[in-house]
Amino acid sequence: MVRFFLIMLVAIQISFGNNNKGNKNMNNIHDLTVLDMNGREVKLSDYKGKVLMIVNVASKCGYTKQYTGLESIYEKYKSKGFEILAFPCNDFGAQEPGTNKEIQEFCTATFSVKFKLFDKIKVLGKNKLPLYERLINNSNTEQGDIKWNFEKFIISKTGEIVARFRSGVEPESKEILIKIESELLK
């Protein structure tokens, strides 16, 4: 009987050990690939050594003005190893109806955006981009679906998801700037 319990204990430890390995992978994005606005694959591992902000964006949203703040922090920190990866999304109130070309033209003409824009994606439902599946289900930040446009995630230089900020938190807010600066120092 004691032998049976010892075997069960070892099996449980092995099982939990494997689950933790899976969770560790769910906290990192460097193994994923996304599409840029021209349909070309981009490996997120290409951003190793950079601090990232990943944000779902829309052109006809009450938060669209946040493009100004995003561009401002991009200009402020890009020379220190900071990048913004923006993913247009039409999941909330059909607020991003345009094509990739129209979105790019709008962002450039209206907000002088120079940071990287990616292919228009889904962040909700069964067709959700695998990157967003990872962002909303990691064990490092608040879990749960994206609630609206302009949710922001901070990614460490090693690809770890380290912070999540809801739409109402402005890109130039103190809490976001402190997180970016602390990650850049690592």
Q: Which two tokens stand for residue 79?
A: 């020379």
Q: How many CB atoms lie within 10 A of CB 81?
A: 14
> Strands, DSSP E only, in the chain?
33-35, 41-43, 51-57, 82-88, 116-117, 152-155, 161-165
Q: Which of 58, 61, 84, 161 is catalytic?
A: 61
Residue among 75, 27, 49, 73 nearest 184 (CA): 49
- d(Cα 38, Cα 117) in Å, to the nearest integer? 10
Q: Is 61 a catalytic residue?
A: yes
Q: What is the DSSP string of 101-134?
A: HHHHHHHHHHH---SEEB--B--SSTT--HHHHH
Chain position carrying tokens 């890009």: 78
Catalytic residues: 61
